[in-house]
Amino acid sequence: MAKLIVADDHPLFRNALINAISNTFSTKATIETDSFESTCQALEQHPDTDLLLLDLHMPGNCGFLGLIQLRKNYPSLPIVVISASEELDVVKRVISFGASAYIPKSANPAQISEALKEVLAGELWVPASMQKALQEQASQEEDLDLAARVAQLTNQQYKVLYYLTEGWLNKQIAYDLHISEATVKAHITAIFRKLGCTNRTQVVIQAQRLTLEPPVNKALSGHEQD
């Protein structure tokens, strides 16, 4: 059984949420708050709180700032955000700022119960309907970030990167590009820095995420050393 704090400034929704929780989830105590200040006071008065259900839009809670502050002050307290918004960007930020779950106000009692059980078991929870979209969004953002990093490479560094993905040795790269091995090593060091990698294996893995195509033969036959 868990002690909960339900923080929401709308009495009707707060009561509905508490009823939904009590019908499907065992609690030993439920404390109600209607502002960010009263929530902070409740947390001070009840240091044994097991779970906080937090509305992002109640008085005193400036968007995500309240969540960030609570996460800093109570690093081990699971925080479940309850919100009417179902925008993926909001959900993504809520989780990245330290919430253990995101429950839309449209959730049914069974979903609420599932979320609370998952969170108390140490897991993260978002509605199943959002999970795939969030994963795809995260993947797209990572790829866009990587693409921006690859765009920082010079033409010569890109050629070296391609040969790295093909498993070529430094001396092979140097021979084919008509440059010294020292220059190849300098390019590789620059590639590591720009892609945020520390070894060749990481570089290859990163490059394969974008399925890099080989440079055209004309470019490979040149003597450019930028």
Q: In what order do the strands lie in the sheet with 51-55?
A: 27-33, 2-7, 51-55, 79-83, 101-104
The winner for highest mean pLDDT among 14-18, 31-35, 163-167 is 31-35
What are the backbone dihedrals phi and psi of residue 71, each rounded to the nearest 5 degrees, phi first?
-65, -40
Could you tell me the sign of the dihedral formed by the alpha carbons of 200, 206, 212, 215, in that order? negative
pLDDT in tens, 109-144: 888 889 999 999 898 899 888 887 777 766 667 777
DSSP state of 125: B
Give the pLDDT band (50/70/90) at residue 174.
Answer: very high
pLDDT at res. 61: 78
Give the pLDDT band (50/70/90) at residue 151.
Answer: confident
pLDDT in tens, 68-113: 889 889 999 999 999 888 888 888 888 888 899 999 988 888 888 8
